[in-house]
Amino acid sequence: MSFYRQMGRIPKKRHVVFRKEDDSLFREQVMGTKGFSGIQSILYHHNPPTAFYKSEFLGEAEIGYEEQSALRPRHFFTDSVSQEPQDAVLDRQYVLGNEDLTIGVTNPTKSMDYFYRNADGDELLFVHHGTGEVETSFGTLKYRPGDYIVMPVGTIYRVNPNEGPSKFLVVETTSWITTPKRYRNEMGQFLEHSPFCERDFRGPVALNTRTEEGDFKVLTKTRGALHAHYFKQHPLDVEGWDGYLYPWIFNIADFEPITGRIHQPPPVHQTFEGNNFVICSFVPRLYDYHPEAIPAPYYHSNVDSDEVLYYVEGNFMSRKGVKEESITLHPLGIPHGPHPGKIEDSIGKKETLELAVMIDTFRPLKVVEKAQRFEDQDYQYSWIEKK
């Protein structure tokens, strides 16, 4: 998802003199991807973005995966994760991961007293509960339940939740996140059969340029480690910017489901894609309308992908025993499908009100060792039909 946007004051041309009221120069920063061949934006700072006065190595960002164990379906109750005061970054509880992405949750209840950037890849924050704002160098975004917040690689940001609990599903990548290519024409515009359009995407609502001085900490995650950089100038000192690279929001309620006479395969639910993974949205929709249709999905083998589901709300029509905030993993190599009785129950029903986020990865996922604390150990046996 990339189209041109501009905020604040910028000069008429790129790479030319742009002066402040005191006749000193704004500091131009080109922020782009793929070695200046990908999308980029140009930001104009009051101070050099390189002017940190101290740097620290904070240590390896080791997650700690369990040793390989029996291949089986897994189920994690993430509503059991600690409800102690947390922020949106340092208190993330990771559940799954591989070389391409890491999946976890966080329950931010307080504002971050530092700023953060992931220099390894884009991040996605899915807002399950709560409202608040995300301050970024591109401006402030307002979030609400159902929002997918996509933060481009290297973007400095800080999450400030409003009063009341928030809950995010977090996807950290080592690549990029964008919309499926098949829904865009050669110019990048969404096609008429796309389940969303440009009107559904929100960017920053305000550019609040900060010029005060003090002590400001920016944490940077890269190369499997966490680093700190300290500045005397506020890191969100951007006077203006323009380009195609910036944080944006898409709300899951704006995904228009694709339906048919018989059961539609999972790709019709695809919302985003990255390197070796896709993200799908299961939203309220009409069921299949063939007179003999079976709305529940058929059993299928994950031959070349792992399937992860995060359950948001409603009664997920093919599953038993899951609840809001559950995460399930169905690994490649073995088949999976509806729980006993769910196929029969679906026949004749007209619609579903379920809401869930699905992540399919094309390389195997590993389970984080600490996630075993809130795992449903009996989930793997829940397909045994009781006579």
| CA 319/CA 34 separation, integer angstroms | 41
Q: What percent of the chain has pLDDT over 90?
A: 87
- pLDDT digit string (tens) for 315-363? 887 888 899 999 999 999 999 999 999 999 999 989 999 999 999 999 9
Report pLDDT for 385: 84
The mean per-residue pLDDT over the stretch 178-185 comes to: 96
Whether pLDDT at 248 is above 90: yes
pLDDT for position 127? 98
Tokens of 381: 């046996």
In this prediction, residues 130-147 reach a mean pLDDT of 97
**pLDDT tens-digit series, residues 276-287:** 999 999 999 999
- Report pLDDT for 375: 96
Question: If you average pLDDT over every residue of the chain, what do you get?
Answer: 94
Q: Which residues pair with 69 in a beta bridge?
A: none
Q: What integer pLDDT is reported at residue 232 of this predicted model?
A: 97
The pLDDT of residue 312:
97
377 Cβ contact list (under 8 Å, min separation 6): none
According to DSSP H, which parts of 77-202 are helical?
none
For residues 332 and 250, give the distance between their C-alpha atoms in angstroms, rounded to a whole number.
29
The fourth-level CATH superfamily of domain 255-373 is Jelly Rolls (2.60.120.10)
Lowest mean pLDDT among 61-65, 145-149, 153-157, 361-365: 61-65
Taking residues 265-279, what's their average pLDDT?
96
Instruction: Assess whether pLDDT exceeds 90 at residue 240.
Output: yes
Residue 222 has pLDDT above 70, yes or no: yes
What is the spatial distance between Cα 172 and Cα 124, in angstroms, rounded to a whole number?
7
Residue range 34-60: average pLDDT?
95
Predicted local distance difference test score (pLDDT) of residue 35: 86
Instruction: Name the nearest CA neighbour of 94 among 327, 324, 346, 305.
Output: 327
Question: Which residues in 284-304 are b (16+ Cβ under 10 Å) and which e?
Answer: ebebbeeeebbbbbeeeebee
pTM of the predicted model over 0.75: yes
